[in-house]
Amino acid sequence: MKKCLLISLISLAMISCSQSLQVASPDGGLTLRFEQTSSGGIAYSVSRGDKMIIAPSPLGFETKEVSLCDSFEITGTEHSSYDDTWETVWGEEREIRDHHNTMTVHLRHVSGMLMDIEFRVFDDGVAWRYHFKGQGDQETNTKLTITEELTSYRFTQGAEAWSIPWRTEYYEGLWQKRTIKGQSDQEPSTKDTLCSPVTLEFEDGTYGFLHEAALTDYPAQNFHVSDGAVRTYLTPWMNAQENNAKSTKEIKAYIETPFETPWRFVVLTKTLPELVASRIMLNLNEPCAIEDPSWIKPTKFMGIWWGMHIKTMTWEQGPNHGATTPNMERYMRFAKEHGIGAVLAEGWNKGWEDWKHFDFTTPYSDWDMDYLTHLSDSLGVQIVGHNETGGNAADYEAQLDSIYRYHADHGIHVIKTGYVAPIIRTKDGLQWNKGQSGVRHYRKVIETAARYHIAIDNHEPVMPTGLQRTYPNLMTQEGVRGQEWNAWSADGGSPCEHVTVLPYTRILAGPVDYTPGVFHFENPVIPTTRVHATLMNQLGLFVCFYSPLQMACDLPEHYMEHPEAFRFIEHVPCDWERSILLDGKIGDYCIFARQERGSSKWYIGGITDENAREVSIPLSFLNDQTANYKTTLYLDADDADWQSKPYAYTIDRMNVTSADTLHLRMAPGGGFAAEIIPF
């Protein structure tokens, strides 16, 4: 542990009240205080009313050039308020209110370095970022090499933290619950305990969400726990000369002033629905940078994809090749017939046979791009392109303009990118995908794609941080242990609990391409692995898991085994006017209601873990208190069970009003879906 950090911790017990500054939330419920230690160290604390939630916690940095952890002088402060409502291009709501109070603290370090910290306090949480301004009164540009960010969170009460280890490849792990209070000081080798984001369940029944916003040109944050505090651990550069076995300081970021870090934020709410409804992360990102984003359209899509995972098709050309012209035409005509807007094809381009060099503009000989382009136009069904890089981000980045021009010329305006490699190769050599170099690459992809009117579905990404507000062509991302694990994972597939954790953890960070909608659970090629769900659970995912590009992942012939159930997938939208978590518990179940954007239709989805549940759902959220609504319920049958009878379901139809309450049962590993239409 750094000596400076130890001094800060000791000094926090002797806060100088004369240096205290504070800013409250608009409703007065939360108060953030900026404080200085006797040695000029900097810290903050957060209270709800008279109760402290975050005790004084250190701020600052260690750099190779100067230690920015103490010896600061406050040179001034500014306070302001902001209240505005903005409209999303797509999202879980049409309109989002941004209402916060701001305090900016101007600091001068003894070295002459000038730094501001901008704090924003919302009714449901707090946020701050660091502004490096330069050296001296003239704010001379200064280069800094950051070796440690000292931002910490000393929560005053115990909490259960839902998280995954930061070294989890592609973030594709099972989120686990662990206690963060009172842990003893850990060895440096265990710094990867927590990956951002972290969802917190406090002892008093309140909730928290710890993450970052507007990650640009900076490494993604992670956390480790020591001395009862959650501390920031930035993703390091892998090949920096200083990052070797003999070095005591890892290089985390290279910056040049003026420079702004990403926002650090903590959502703090009394209830779980309030936590899910928080839009702090989006409000901390810049407004849309695309002058006319009208070309960006949410849509459902199918794909030549699941067949590869269940081993009935191959990515590479051969006797079982999936992405052939006839197979793609079959999918596209099926999509047209059933109101699905697009079809993805993986394995259409050369390079899959050896993974040494993917050619993103040359199809295999059994793929006729010109014919399929014309078919796409005539059917009105988009082609979703696929660009797998094999982790060679540098090669991909060097060709971005030619690749995207080729796709745009063929009418392809959505691309799924992929980086299947534990360590990606960037312009700076082998790096963590969420290190500073990887973050720069992903941003370059998004910005370049926008110029060609191409939307991105990014797989093997850096964790989302709300950049979709600024670049709404970044429509969805993976970064999750998704459906494909249920096709081939050696552990038999994700447990039922997994999908009941994600809405409160990973999906709070942004849209997720989980690929729901499996309708056929048996897989003779890998019989020991399967989806741990009922058919109705798979329908519920289309409402509970948010993505503006929502994939129905199974094969057309499997959907026709249950055409009445498939009708819900045909109808359910993926762009919303309003979204509400009606009920739920992390790791147990969730029930969401969402109103279709520009419509009076509502959709409800529910999913549960391995336990059956009976739930009551008041319909008081319906807009028109006097209207009657036609309701179609897709329900687990009484004897349904994910292990023994996953296909057992019933469809009920009834008329309801906002005064009614639905009483429903979810089977073990089950769920339900509902479509509610006014008449």
Q: Would you name the residues annotated as active-site residues?
A: 484
Residue 282 three-state SS: helix
Distance (Å) of CA 530 to CA 171, 398, 483, 486: 21, 40, 10, 5
Sign of the dihedral through C-alpha 248, 254, 258, 260: negative
Please say whether the beta carbons of 669 and 609 come within 8 A. Answer: yes
Please say whether the beta carbons of 232 and 150 come within 8 A. Answer: yes
Q: Identify residue 130 by its one-letter amino acid code.
A: Y
614-625 burial, b at 16+ Cβ within 10 Å, e below that, comes to: ebebebeebeee
Beta bridge partners of 342: 301, 382
CA 484 – CA 239 distance, rounded (Å): 32
Distance (Å) of CA 189 to CA 180, 220, 417: 17, 18, 32
Please say whether the beta carbons of 185 and 227 come within 8 A. Answer: yes
CA 42 – CA 35 distance, rounded (Å): 6
Residue 522 three-state SS: coil
Please say whether the beta carbons of 661 and 617 come within 8 A. Answer: yes
Please say whether the beta carbons of 171 and 506 come within 8 A. Answer: yes
Q: Identify residue 45 by its one-letter amino acid code.
A: S
β-pair type (414-418, 382-388): parallel
Please say whether the beta carbons of 118 and 131 come within 8 A. Answer: yes
Which phi and psi (to 5°) does residue 168 adopt?
Answer: -60, 120
Q: Which residue has the tokens 């059994």?
A: 366
Residue 7 three-state SS: helix
Selection from 412, 323, 342 nearest residue 381 by Cα: 342
Beta bridge partners of 46: 32, 54
Query: What residues have CB less than 8 Å from 243, skipping those under 6 apart?
Result: 236, 237, 250, 251
Distance (Å) of CA 66 to CA 62, 69, 144: 7, 9, 8
List the beta strands (DSSP E) in 88-220.
95-109, 113-122, 125-135, 143-149, 152-155, 159-163, 176-179, 194-195, 198-202, 207-213
Q: Please, how many CA atoms are within 13 Å of residue 345, restricted to the half-sphere of its CB? A: 31
Beta bridge partners of 671: 607
Residue 255 three-state SS: strand
β-pair type (21-24, 30-36): antiparallel
DSSP code for 209: E
Q: Give the CA radius of gyration of the chain.
A: 25
CA 439 – CA 450 distance, rounded (Å): 17
Please say whether the beta carbons of 537 and 669 come within 8 A. Answer: yes
To which H or E segment does residue 36 belong? strand 30-36
Q: Identify residue 453 by its one-letter amino acid code.
A: H
